[in-house]
Amino acid sequence: MNAGFSNLTALKIQLLNESLRSDITYDALVAAVGLGVAGLVEGFCNRKFARVEADTLTVPGNSRLISLPRYPVEAVTALDYKVRLATDWVDGLGALYNWSADAGLLDLSNYLTDKHGQARVTYTGGYFWETLEPTDDGYPTTQPDGSAALPEAIRSAWIIQCEYVWSRRDKLGLSLGAKPEEKRLTNDLGTVDLIPLVQQMLKDHIRFAII
């Protein structure tokens, strides 16, 4: 089970005492912490980290430089465009002049449409990490050839922030004696900031706006 930047079992080892790790009572709460913190990290870094095959991004058709939300980029399999909403998609892959896999940037040789059109990129990119567990079908998995593993700095920052949120569960009304409420936790996480140490660890992974 995906719990953010690792699977649920791995996160339980970080957050729970050994005597509680085999208990499933708090699985939903632990997973909610992990997924919520992963969302905070992605928001802070202004990018998506999970590796997705054949992901798509649609941008204005008059874009010459396209910034993909998931990178490193492994492959760009399609670049299509349409001049108006009612028209069909047209292959425009020939306009791909250059691209930076590490930065997730595509450089086009020309505009595909005017400002009223659209361009759609189909690509594979992002970081791979283990989400399956021994109880999941298909375990174990192996990292796909050509993919990049999640940097340890990101994973460590995520764990540290999860530990911080977990340590504050009583202040958030989320004590172990209370019934786990994922929706409530999600709302409360919206009031939590990344601690300075985590922000420092993530500074080299921030996607800044392109002007």
Look at residue 119 and tell me whether its pLDDT is greater than 70. Answer: yes
Residues 60 and 43 in one domain: no
By C-alpha distance, which of 144, 159, 153, 206 is closest to 6? 159
Residues 160 and 111 in one domain: no
Q: Is the peptide bond before 180 cis (omega within 30 degrees of 0)?
A: no
Residues 120 and 64 in one domain: yes
Report the number of distinct structural domains present in the chain: 2
DSSP strand pairing (96-100 vs 90-91):
unpaired
Using an 8 Å Cβ cutoff, are 160 and 5 in contact?
A: no
Q: Count of H helices and E strands in the chain?
A: 5, 9
Residues 111 and 86 in one domain: yes
Q: Is the peptide bond before 134 cis (omega within 30 degrees of 0)?
A: no
Look at residue 169 and tell me whether its pLDDT is greater than 90. Answer: no
pTM: 0.87
- Residues 120-135 have a mean pLDDT of 94
Domain around 40? 8-48+150-205
Look at residue 178 and tell me whether its pLDDT is greater than 60. Answer: no
CA distance 75 to 79: 11
Residues 173 and 121 in one domain: no
- Whether residue 22 is contained in a domain is answered as yes
- Whether residue 137 is contained in a domain is answered as no
- The encoded tokens of residue 163 equal 């530990």
- Whether residue 143 is contained in a domain is answered as no
pLDDT at 27: 92
| Per-residue confidence band for 170, with pLDDT thresholds at 50, 70 and 90 | low
- The encoded tokens of residue 82 equal 């349409």
Look at residue 72 and tell me whether its pLDDT is greater than 70. Answer: yes
